[in-house]
Structure 1
């Protein structure tokens, strides 16, 4: 319980940091490929996900990985929503997209959020 409180406090502390660093060019319905290009140009680094955990990619996840977009955490098959993670300095950024193919993916929201530790993925899976 204490660790959950600690994580909550840390995430609340990070939110104001992101407000100062929040990418002003991110807008709802911005093409994901353009948003990604702008993020990388602005110094955001992709956080590689599922590197050594034998995750089985499916659907648009496979397309993303084939394009070397290793920051994809997961995509739902039913609504084509994807979650991707980036880091700039000590700040994390979660970008949510929607779209059945990479070329049509659009940004729908973004938050100051770091991915769960890899062992949390293993425990959930």
Structure 2
């Protein structure tokens, strides 16, 4: 599923972006400035990015792959909070 569509569905269902990135460099900071505060991290090369959401105290992590936000596809999700295994 396209990440932008999944994100819209999550937000429409009451999930809220859960900001975790506090840096000022890299693709993560670009995504924050473009309105995606839920970004946690992205890899270099083939870009895999992790995004975080929260709803009623439940955390949801979403993994997406792609070079540009509009072309990213969801490849994984898990109900876990950032920084916790």
How high is the TM-score relative to the length of structure 1? Answer: 0.62
The yes-or-no answer on 1:38 pairing with 2:26 is no
CA distance in 2, matches of 1:57, 1:73: 13
Match of 2:25 in 1: 57
CA distance in 2, matches of 1:97, 1:64: 13
* Structure 1 gap segments, 5+ residues each: 1-29, 118-125
8 A contact 2:21–2:41 mirrored in 1 = no
Question: Equivalent of 2:71, from 81, 104, 116?
Answer: 104
Q: More helix per residue: 1 or 2?
A: 1
Larger Cα-atom Rg: 1
How high is the TM-score relative to the length of structure 2? Answer: 0.88
RMSD, aligned CA: 1.5
Match of 1:20 in 2: none
Match of 1:94 in 2: 61
* Structure 2 gap segments, 5+ residues each: none
Q: More strand per residue: 1 or 2?
A: 2
